[in-house]
Amino acid sequence: MTSDLLAPLDLAFWNMESERHPMHLGALGVFTAHSPTAGAHAADLLAARAAAVPGLRMRIRDVWQPLAFGGATRETDPDFDPLNHVRLHAPTADFHADAGRLMERPLERGRPPWEAHVLPGEDGVSFAVLFKFHHALADGLRALKLAAGVLDPVDLPERGPRAIEPPRTLLSDVRRLPARVPELVKGTLSDVGRALDIGASLARSTLGMRPSSALTSAPSGTRRTAGVVLDIDDVHRVRKSVGGTVNDVLIAVVAGALRRWLDERGDGSAGVAPRALIPVSRRRPRAAHPQGNRLSGYLIRLPVDDPDPLRRLDTVRTAMVRNKDAGPNRGAGAVALLADHVPALGHRLGGPLVGQAARLWFDILVTSVPLPGLGLKLGGHQLTEVFPFAPLAPGQSLAVAISTYRGRVHYGLVADARAVPDLDVFARAVSDEVETLLSVCEH
């Protein structure tokens, strides 16, 4: 049986959730169907293939050993049964309605924390699969890799050989220790300084601030999901016309959609400038051990109260440039890095409080999830759409996740169902905002 300790941020996610507020992420993939039995065939394939993916056999267990007291490990479940994780549902006319209800349900913590729900379409020409992964098991990138392990094999271009490092031994580490002492001391002092810097930035950002009432609510534990598909060429046309990056445009679209949505529902957008957390991955490419969340983030004010769409885009672009210049290791958006400086027992005792405090730190999460450009299939059935879903922190009403797949941008929206019964209105506002930006840029 293999095991490894959870990284500090993973441990924070594991202890942050409650029965009513699960901390899993999700992705809803829509596939073409060649026959009415395609969904059932897909469920059989998922169950058969899951047994061969080591990462899907990993459960999380508490640790009470002296050196890791209060921590948790990721270890192989000797009783793993894929049939406990892959479920075939009755045909549905609305994939997102079913996905929202399924996202409400917490994952079984005693088993490997993931599920795959197969939803056959009533039309007989499509089916969907909702993947759920606990954030402590996998972040967006690793969840993608685990899901890819149960999809049809893809021919990937071969990578060049990697340099092989000589094996390290205990004796070699001991010999290197005297020379490394100054470096270790310097690194420790640097870590302490960085933690203090981040903590001060967080305090400054939250001092006197109140959560945006439009995007926070009494948590109900209910969930609703929706999806929006845009043409990436439209996004590029806006970017080329006004400058900035694709990500700047996609974030500005969220700001504009929030403005439309708030005005339409009667809440009003005047004076509204919610704080958006933009997660930034700190994982090194081709890391030897890909497990574990390595996240920082940028914190920006979304200019929802500005009526000019081009000014909104310019404000977002300026804020993102300022964040990038400072780097992902500084500022209030980097508060996730503080997890590295908290002992395991501190995460266990303080996790619920951290979850409740998220609403004081930011109002809405806007995250990007990378997807491969190659076409993915399951049982020969083409994946046509994929909507990522981010975890929703207690007291927050809406989270936005964005992926680009095969020339189209997919917005995955997840909301507290009681606080946002009109999530479809916000989804429509996303499409309308892109049309407005295109129209303004053309003139």
Domain boundary assignment for the chain: 4-150, 194-368+393-442
The better pLDDT of the pair 398, 203 is held by 398
Do 34 and 56 meet the contact criterion of CB atoms below 8 Å apart? no
Burial class (CB in 10 A: 0-12, 13-18, 19+), 124: middle
Please tell me whether residue 385 adopts helix, strand or coil conformation. Answer: strand
Report residue 414: phi and psi, to 5°: -130, 135
Structure tokens at 114: 């993931």
The better pLDDT of the pair 389, 336 is held by 389
Give the pLDDT confidence score for residue 206 in this predicted structure.
44
In words, the CATH class of domain 4-150 is alpha beta
pLDDT in tens, 80-114: 999 999 999 999 999 999 999 999 999 999 999 99
Structure tokens at 253: 């679209």
Same fold yes or no, 4-150 and 194-368+393-442 = yes
Return all residues near 233 (Cβ < 8 A) that are at least 6 apart: 407
Do 27 and 313 meet the contact criterion of CB atoms below 8 Å apart? no
Give, to the nearest 10 degrees, the angle between helix 423-442 and helix 309-326.
100
Give the pLDDT confidence score for residue 312 in this predicted structure.
97
Please tell me whether residue 6 adopts helix, strand or coil conformation. Answer: coil
User: Would the pTM of this model clear 0.85, i.e. be above it?
Assistant: no
Query: Would you tell me how many other CB atoms lie within 10 Å of the CB of residue 375?
Result: 12
| Cα–Cα distance for residue pair 8/72, rounded to 1 Å | 10
Please state, for a pLDDT cut of 90, what percent of the chain lies above it. 53
Domain 194-368+393-442 has CATH 3.30.559.30: yes
Give, to the nearest 10 degrees, the angle between helix 232-242 and helix 246-265.
100
Predicted confidence band at 70 (pLDDT cuts at 50, 70, 90)?
Answer: low
pLDDT in tens, 367-426: 998 887 778 999 999 999 999 999 888 888 999 999 999 999 999 999 999 999 999 999
Whole-number Cα distances in Å, 352 to 24, 323, 364: 15, 29, 19
419-422 long-range contacts, Cβ below 8 Å, gap at least 24?
419/217, 419/218, 419/220, 420/224, 421/224, 422/261, 422/265
Distance between first and last Cα of the chain: 64
């996303």: which residue's tokens? Answer: 430
Please state, for a pLDDT cut of 70, what percent of the chain lies above it. 73
């009526």: which residue's tokens? Answer: 307
